[in-house]
Chain A
């Protein structure tokens, strides 16, 4: 177990380092380099040269990367001249709100996907299974923003019970103070997640229901309910924990679209606006932060899984 912990931590660390390398490379592969990216199109050649000298961008790449990492470790992700704000500041205002949205929709997805997946597995190849499978596929094939728009049309135009726009509060508390506004973005983001999770839960449950130990459990005269809930569900759900980690990149990508559609003041919207304005310090900063969040999230999920599943916990390693 300790060995697994160390290896897994080591892997995560390597991945984080590689992420910074990728971000660094993108920054320097930009046309005009980092200086042009930071100062914008109107900057003169002299301004660019001065900036490059100040930032050390005229030194060898290895050294530059070292400085980049050093600044990163000190929490310096650069400065956005367009927002007139440091990147860290901009992100720290937005990140918590994105986390709230992601967390809420993930919770909603888990709460709905597990029973759906279980129903599908227990009634597999009968109509409840087919119905849910069809809906999942449909949800998966629909672009999120189109789905969000359908929700807006349905619930704030045809049947106006919910606001079409997300809460515009500055802090998390202000956002949470307007729960009605949170419903549509959360549900929209959750729908695709539900489709993916429920399909995963279904296949995990089906696999487990075909296992020999389930037959043993039935031979003990247990009710079908007990067999499913006490034996199969536990074993089927353990691996779902790792899925939570694996799904994070997709979740954040979805959040980007949802935040843009509902005008939710989170990191995705910040990123979107920065992309339209070619505000590269923000773009790169957000990319690095969101990637680190992904790595950390996946790490936590894996460790959690290793901690709760005795098959992994006692074997001390996974492949």
Chain B
């Protein structure tokens, strides 16, 4: 409160511009069965009219609770226990309930994370969108409908006069999010709060939605609070950023300033933990900086800096002194901040300490021994699923073409990244590779042996060679089994060793993934996401496989935990000579992990090549669009791009387009695209009639050297 006043005067802002929203020392508590969680502790923020404030933090940081506190939508048991929420100069906490409701409905709007569940499934779109008008402005039915159509048109819905009569489940995720935005904007609010509005969407859709919010902000002259865990989303869109950690704002500054020169040690560490930073810093595959430990338990009393237990620069003072936000334009709550960078040149972020990159073992495998038999070799893999109608008779309604002729190889010790948006078939490829499903056609060779030719015992032994790592390790572990039983299971199934040998093996595994022996007698529900992922990795390693297929192994984790797991996977690869198939929707993570990348679209591999070439010199228009859509923490990087933008929706896999499957959305498509382009090239292959660029000489040279 006093800080913010000081800030205003010191910044010399004209007194006439009042903040649209000001939070002063906001405290929010959530009562649970066991004790109370102090979700927010003295949060102070300001939002100026027309600006976009990015609120960023990891799960449990309080970013969503801040948004819900402002809107008065806290979950059961939650209440604002202290401070003020000043909106247009009035404290929402002291206004009568009806007044607050009206304010919430007319002057503010909110867009939530999950568009699939955020709309009422049994109400027509038009009725839902126009409901605030009917309630707050007493608009008649016919006019409400017209205005619903109008606002739907403004958020870019095709054929809004038909959409108003549809139900939510008839629309795709991206379209539903547009409806949610239309609903939030129908009363022309002064403030839009978007809570992870694109987290549930694919990157190409994410880009469309973020751009839409940007455009609408200008059009409506409203302020936006963009809440997200994704630093890249913030970097491209927000005017100012507030970083939250453990229920507090730890740093706030203008976006460019914050990313160029972070002051709080947490912000600094968070930026370093991003794969993007590591790649940019050292070009090669440097080790990520990983923040040790876990965020604090907010139901316990905490003293001092909440980041202290995980901080590299911690001193005794940090543990005892309660640090408040500094004053000025760039505020931070850190006793030992990163020295401020000279204001002048806009170059890369402040130098970050990167541990020296160890000699990547993989490169030798990649460039070196071409003669080695691939660990995994997939030839013309096809998987179709029958699309069932419901009910007893289960007539086949058609075929879903999940994987349509995919071929690739993974060498020993190599990481092959498989990227694509949801529904592209990348997970199916993973499941086929580990033998969880049988292909409709095509060949899968493990160490040169066709797994279709294996029978009985051999087939069981085949499972030792290749293991699957799941996105949600909790779901992949029997909740009624202790960790020791979970880790022993693969050994029992494969009849490896006796009891003593197994116990010894499990102990080794725990050491390898950095867990203490004490976890053995515990159950999965007692662990955090990162710990579960370590246990999952340990189980995958138990049989000493040569290949691990990771299906989105870090997608559910926070950035700091993600870095821990990625580093671990890297270390193990080097130690054990593992090969990975790394499946992810997140191009930056795949870019960081993979030696080679394959890009999938609607069941087809459209581009394969060395990671660096695919990401920095994409040849397929779809790959380029994907790369352009990935938000980056380099300020203005997203804005500066003007490459390929794809429009429209992913076609159905029941009746995929003939020829090039991407042609229906491709800006370059011509008649010839109705015939299927082959995957052509030496080292950097592309399946496109009009590749964006020729294969780089470097790539073909490398391929030539390999041949």
Contact = CB atoms under 8 A, between A and B. Distances in A.
Q: Do chains A and B make direct contact within the complex (CB under 8 angstroms)? A: yes
Interface of A: 3-4, 6-8, 10-11, 211-213, 215-223, 226, 231, 234-235, 238, 309-311, 314-319
A286 to B, nearest CB: 29
B424 interface: no
B458 interface: no
B69 to A, nearest CB: 13
A213 B117 contact: yes
Question: Across chains A and B, which 10 residue pairs bring their CB atoms closest together, nearest first?
Answer: A221-B105, A317-B390, A7-B391, A212-B117, A221-B104, A219-B110, A213-B120, A221-B101, A220-B132, A310-B167
Nearest to A311: B121
Contacts of B433: none
Interface string B103-135: 111100110101001111111000000011001
Interface in B151-176: 167, 169-170
B132 A235 contact: no
B184 interface: yes
Interface in B341-399: 389-393, 395
A161 B430 CA distance: 75
B171 to A, nearest CB: 12
Nearest to B72: A218
B104 to A, nearest CB: 4
B183 interface: yes
Interface in B59-96: 71, 73
B136 interface: yes
B102 interface: yes
Chain A, interface SS category = helix
B122 A234 contact: yes
Contacts of A219: 71, 73, 104-105, 109-110, 112, 184
B578 interface: no
Given A235-B120, A309-B122, A311-B121, A216 B180 contact: yes
A217 B131 CA distance: 9
Given A220-B131, A220-B132, A213 B121 contact: yes
Given A216-B112, A219-B105, A223-B135, 7 more contacts: A7-B393, A216-B180, A234-B122, A234-B123, A314-B167, A318-B390, A319-B390
A217 B120 contact: yes
Contacts of B167: 310-311, 314
13 contacts: A7-B391, A11-B392, A215-B73, A219-B110, A220-B104, A221-B102, A221-B105, A221-B132, A221-B135, A222-B101, A311-B122, A315-B169, A317-B389
A43 B231 CA distance: 91
A234 B112 CA distance: 22
A221 B118 contact: no
Contact of B118 (A4, A213, A314): A213
Contacts of A311: 121-122, 167, 169
A315 B120 CA distance: 16
Contacts of B112: 212, 215-216, 219
Nearest to B131: A220
A4 B395 CA distance: 12
A216 B390 contact: no
Contacts of B103: 221
Interface in B418-435: none
Contacts of B183: 216, 220
A160 B393 CA distance: 58
A211 B183 CA distance: 18
Nearest to A310: B167
A310 B123 CA distance: 8
A222 B105 contact: yes
A10 B391 CA distance: 10
Nearest to B121: A311
B397 to A, nearest CB: 9
A223 B101 contact: yes
